[in-house]
Amino acid sequence: MPIPIRTSLVALALLSAAACTDPPARGATQASSASAASSTTGSGGSRGAAPDAGSDQEAGAPEGLRALFIGNSYTYVNDLPGHVNEMAATARLPPTIDVASVTAGGATFADQWNGAEAQPAIAKGDDTHVVLQAQSVEPVFAPEGFHQYGSLLANAATAAGAKPVLYETWARKAGDPVYIEAWSGGSPDAMQDGLSAAYEKLANDTGASVAPVGEAWRIAWTQHPEIELYQPDGSHPTPSGTYLAACVFYIVLTGHSLAAASAPPPDVSPADASTLREIATEVTSAK
């Protein structure tokens, strides 16, 4: 029998509190503008496919994008919005990407919808894109609440004139205690299957796009286990994990492949950065 939404959200909040070892919650924050590329994300439910190489100079490209990130520690640890902003600034191609965020540690979609900041931030209508990130296991632990409140947030973004973009997150690291729970699927691959399916369904039902960060992580942990994406807690991202997420977002938001000129953070090696850029291009090109 399905877990009632209210009961599941309370349990999810307790799970989040137990797992959250990251910095204190941050409210709506602003980052500076940057320089990136052209064209917005694809149609509802699509994965924001990477363009042909010749499209980087596409005529009529927008000069500036504004992305509002709504989420929790998977957004604010290592400052994902700031990385997207900086990535655009060093790409030497238009458009700019201004970023802002509304974040709180462990927040679910229900927490954001019922909180004081997310709805007013969306309703301002200042943004071309609104990025929505749920609590890390919410889509598989509390799927009804995830879909209900995710739909409310996505529809609010559309009503405000922005494109909703769903931040598909990643499974917990192999060996995490969460895998004793039946709802987890028992393995990273099974959990990722559930997370990806939930975000895709929400995208299809709301006209949102998906930034397939979780699927990019799956490729990385399968094909390049030498690149450590996880912090010791087996949940939050290392700088390499955040860099991979930022690469995916850059491609999805702009429609461009990521130029090598877009410098990685100093704690990600050039070789690893190149591999992660290739993974981001691969996953966003998948149909």
**pLDDT (tens digit, 9 = 90+) per residue, 227-239?**
999 999 999 999 9
Model pLDDT for residues 198-231, shown as the tens digit of each residue: 999 999 999 999 999 999 999 999 999 999 999 9
pLDDT, position 183? 97
| C-alpha to C-alpha distance for 253 and 262, rounded to whole angstroms | 15
Whether the pTM exceeds 0.85: the reply is: no
pLDDT, position 232? 98
pLDDT, position 91? 85
**DSSP, res 27:** -
| Complete domains list, the chain, with CATH | 21-285 (3.40.50.1110)
Q: Strands 96-103, 29-30: parallel, antiparallel or unpaired by DSSP? A: antiparallel
Torsion of CA 8, 46, 77, 106, to 10 degrees: -10
Query: Token pair of 241, please?
Result: 């994990």
Torsion of CA 55, 275, 192, 283, to 10 degrees: 20
pLDDT, position 2? 47
Helix (H) or strand (E) holding 102: strand 96-103
| C-alpha to C-alpha distance for 96 and 63, rounded to whole angstroms | 6
pLDDT, position 260? 74
Q: Which of 122, 129, 158, 134 has its CA nearest to residue 36? A: 129
Strand partners, 100: 30, 68
Write the CA distances from 136 to 184, 191, 198, 235, integer angstroms: 11, 11, 12, 8
Q: Which of 230, 239, 195, 265 has its CA nearest to residue 21? A: 230
pLDDT, position 3? 46
Residues of the chain falling short of pLDDT 70? 1-62, 261, 287
pLDDT, position 234? 98
